[in-house]
Structure 1
């Protein structure tokens, strides 16, 4: 674990980094009483974890004392060793700083926090910590004195009690100059995050990731150059900052990755002069003498310097000689450190010719550069390409820092913005034609005064359009209570002047629907003993066959909520009394077994099912057998509310009559299906494997667009004009 005593966030997860003058000026009030407006932070859950599996804590400094804020009540508490009452895991005999295996009772589950909102007063060095499936194990020393502060996760320590716990954070300071807040990728990436801040005078800024966790990991693995491939930690599903990996440390394969570039810079400017524009900080001219890189500012002749040629670690982490000396030294060090990571110093420019380090089109073009940082600044990964990928990413405002001089509220989107419309999941309009001005709202709570601050006039609100999968609830008062009006995607227009007559606040949230997930048998992550083969089952494709006693397959799943689920297996077997079992934890946890009947052949398919209890989260499950002697095409995991309908829809495939004059192609399909014999069809209906109707086409023609459907497996029901029915399974790519 690492002891945290410094008051400054805004630089790295747990490291102590020097701050630029900009942040030093913003934090001059640290150590004195804050008089700032309290800012409500609402947590919106757009993740694969349920609210009951998301844990939240808030720590920081007020009036020079280390404090924590109770998430359920927003009450400020002084840190005390007496708060260490939660038993944590003991790894390798490590009993923690207290020697008793106890840690701070400072976390709350998201579903326990009223309105998912925590009120943050004037505070410095604040971190909103968010962990998944478990709280983090922090240790509180005390509010002041020595030692004080808290011990935080140190994943470089193999006996740290937080090993294996996924977590993220928002760093912030609420100071006299306003709210300063940011997401961070310094040290590592563990899960997508989003942050939005609203303020007076129509202030609004948004930062965060745009893709799901799985998409981000996939894109990293498919694009990372060999030098940075080791940053991906497959065991924990995270991406580490390069200097946190063995490859970039002393003795590693990439220990000298930046050395040639740094050596060339120090060599060139021993004879030449480097001139660069540091934006508001002025124009500097630098020269190396005796290994010291000294700079003079043109406007006033003041000096800043880098006391020695930096090591690779100092370049990547902004530490050592890149974070020491006077304030002006640190300004110069930040500029040069950022320029090296971005490879923005052009060694081909003649001595004394001014260079512009602010042109981001020149960043990450010429090797060597910090590819980790380039990845996070891609516009398809981070909103507006803003992120905190290394300690000096705020140079020329490329970081995810938000500064609101008069903040009103903030929303943290756990899971990032993947799947959320850029204008929000609900949109307020001036009239019931969904026209006039439009203000987008993401999941969260909004009082009428907050809506007005966003540019909404309470005299003009007439309609709210709600995206599919979400709902809006209007309340009578600002406490989100009293009589309510609920609007979903199918019933969205407020024609009754609800805002003017009765409503004073609203909540935007997910409109919970039934869960269903289909897993193709051939999409295993690991297996033993099996083979794939072509199947004649509806829809074609592959099945898993040659399953003998002792064979097994494992699959990755994400279960939204702990509870009982129906697991339906598509099987074929010419044998009697064969069985399969479902398990997790590499077989240590048995989830249940099911008997497979004799279906009359290896390609005669039917469904068998059982109910199993599954925990929430992302993990692996396994299918194993002590008998073998069957084939498996796919399995469906669904909640019990939709299991019966899902089973019925799937089983319709078995009883459907063969009709070669009525076909759908291609299969698998991307965007458009071609229907042969369409003149015989009265209605074409598409169902997901949860039994939900997702598309209906009366009197279809020869082509049917399915571009709007998500990737997955669907059942298409063709109602023929002779009142017979044919069903076909398709795979949407």
Structure 2
């Protein structure tokens, strides 16, 4: 079964979208395409397939790019979904590199080992893999993806675990001055270490892991998908959420959502079961019902974050505080002291396990992991080249 991807899960893309308002540096010019060098350090012998899928920013059309960066619009789809054209690009063999060109897209770069991925088309657009569904055609394929936006303001390229933790990779960009920055590499033993940590965590966290019938570990689903599929109990965060609601019945929660605007603060108190926030004048500007686990892990539903100037920024901050379990230790949010993250027994253990094993500590383990700049993202306003490095599964 294929399911259309939902924007609620694309925290990294949401971040990129928010950054699109930034203007390019004076004198900078971003070409129509830039090179992306894909290096296969996985040590795996299977064929590698690469896909560059997204929205062409100049026209808003959905489609794919070939190895030369040329855009191809998707044909019309159907109901049920019709198979999408084969958009795969042959990837490099183990120990080798391949350079392709990426256009001004907002989309994803998929890669898969051993088998091509299957995509579908409906009247509404592209249908992407949804391996939380047992019948998904891509369920037994080892694959992953990166998200990026390249536009006139530069390149944003991430390493994401918002939907799942799977085949490891890192991303990088060469800046205009010739220097290179990267993120996404795991510590030695970090890949298997994440799965070991989940297996050792009581309460259903081991059920997030998906394996093939031959025993190959394919991925760990995000806890949102775990809750939605019943792999993780829907009550998994209830104890922590209840304690937060109790604390802020008598204590004020202060949210300062913009790091560059320290004077913009909102104060929250629970009254009548609702966490209400007031602005400097004392007017109520946002209210939140007590969230369930799906709302916290997905940063949506009862923690919806519209693209506005008040509710969305407050919700993003709350989402980060719940996932990192910092709301009880610090009444001033966001708490950006990483030593405080994931310390409660009730927390997002998926995010905890991933962050602890990243070489630089950065990850996109939930939708708004960029709060406090904890995300695995590279950006440059005048990129010379991008990099995608596939790492060993060890």
Q: Which TM-score band applies after superposition, normalised by the shorter structure?
A: 0.7 to 0.9
For 2:9 and 2:323, how far apart are their aligned partners in 1? 21
Q: 1:225 to 1:111 in 2, by over 3 A?
A: closer
Q: Partner of 2:384 in structure 1?
A: 408
SS of the equivalent of 2:289 reads coil
What residue is the counterpart of 1:229 in the other structure? Answer: 206
Residue aligning to 1:109: 90
1:67 is the counterpart of 2:43: no
SS at match of 1:167: strand
Deviation track 1:553-596 (CA, whole Å, cap 9, x = no partner) reads xxxxxxxxxxxxxxxxxxxxxxxxxxxxxxxxxxxxxxxxxxxx
Q: Hey, what does 1:280 align to over in structure 2?
A: 260
Query: How many angstroms apart in 2 are the aligned matches of 1:211 and 1:250?
Result: 30
Structure 2 residue 235 is the aligned partner of structure 1 residue 256: yes
Q: Offset of 1:252 from its aligned partner?
A: 6.4
CA separation in 1, counterparts of 2:173 and 2:116? 26
Match in the other structure for 1:555: none
Quick check: 2:48–2:111 contact (8 Å CA) kept in 1? yes
Work out whether 1:40 is the aligned partner of 2:40.
Answer: no
Distance 2:38 2:54 in 1: 18
Higher relative contact order (CA 8 A, sep 6+): 2
Q: What's the counterpart of residue 397 of structure 1?
A: 373
Q: Pick from 72, 76, 79: which aligns with 2:71?
A: 76
Match of 2:26 in 1: none
Q: Shift of the alpha carbon at 1:204?
A: 3.1
Aligned to 1:139: 120
Q: Using the alignment, how far apart are the partners of 1:374 and 1:159 within structure 2?
A: 29
Supply the distance in 2 between the matched residues of 1:250 and 1:61 (Cα, whole angstroms): 29
Task: Indicate yes or no: 2:18 matched with 1:24.
Answer: yes
Paired residue for 1:180? 156
Tell me the distance in 1 between the aligned counterparts of 2:154 and 2:317: 25
Q: CA deviation at 1:48?
A: 2.4
Are the counterparts in 2 of residues 266 and 288 from structure 1 also a CA contact under 8 Å? yes
Query: Structure 1 residues 249, 76: closer, same or farther in 2, change over 3 A?
Result: closer
Q: Unpaired runs of 5+ in structure 2?
A: 24-28
- Partner residue, 2:51: 57
- Judging changes above 3 Å, is the alpha-carbon distance between structure 1 residues 153 and 250 closer, same or farther for their aligned structure 2 residues? closer
Alignment check: 8 A CA contact 1:192 1:211 kept: no
**Partners of 2:322 and 2:9 in 1: CA distance:** 23
Contact 1:40 1:117 in 2 (8 A): yes
Residue 191 of structure 2 corresponds to 216
Taking a change above 3 Å as real, the CA distance of residues 9 and 371 of structure 1, as seen in their structure-2 partners, is closer
Long gaps (5+) in structure 1: 30-34, 85-94, 142-146, 419-733
TM-score, structure 1 normalization: 0.47
The Cα shift of 1:25 comes to: 4.1
Between Structure 1 and Structure 2, the one with more strand by share is 1
Matched position secondary structure for 2:277: strand
Asked if 1:357 corresponds to 2:335, the answer is: yes
SS at match of 2:137: coil
Shift of 1:188: 1.2
**Residue pair 1:210, 1:417 contacting (<8 A) in 2 also:** no
Note if contact 2:39-2:92 (Cα within 8 Å) is conserved in structure 1.
no
Tell me if the contact between 2:147 and 2:157 (Cα under 8 Å) persists in the aligned partners: yes
Aligned residues: 373
1:377 corresponds to which residue? 355
1:290 paired with 2:261, answer no
Q: Offset at 1:286?
A: 1.3
User: CA offset at residue 109 of structure 1?
Assistant: 1.6
Tell me the secondary structure at the aligned position of residue 411 of structure 1: strand
In 1, distance between residues paired with 2:132 and 2:393?
Answer: 30
Aligned-partner Cα distance in 2 for 1:25–1:197: 17
